[in-house]
Chains A and B, each alone.
Chain A
């Protein structure tokens, strides 16, 4: 039997790694990957509490988070492609103007 706190610490570590990647990375695709890592960390918290409370509602929430993450990935990658067409770069330091 694994204590619930182990799962929570693991998800906190994953979330912290996601936040660190979001802050220190300069490649826009890697920043996007860090966001997915944060979502996965939160999902683990949902599943752990669902197992503790013997309730399936947490699983449904994780399902919806996955749907939103898939939609977000599709739209975000389309935006990345559109930005790359106009700027010819993926570095967020070079994408510093609102105009095209």
Chain B
């Protein structure tokens, strides 16, 4: 989920948490206690990379971007997720048009 959010461009932690909340329409919320440890873990695995960026008139923020390895993992997870969703759909009887 997080990987897909920073796929297009680098984002900082708060932005990520807001996006998750918005896109899930409030269903999924990440609190600090779960979001940041997760980001650090992904970074340790080498899937994402954080970098401090200073913008004019703002305090510096840490932006996370997807690494090459992260891209490979994301693609694999998307495939796995799709297969899973398809399987569930088939089980629950929802057919594709």
* A and B co-occur in one complex: no
Chain A residues within CB distance 8 Å of chain B: none
Interface residues of B (CB under 8 A from A): none
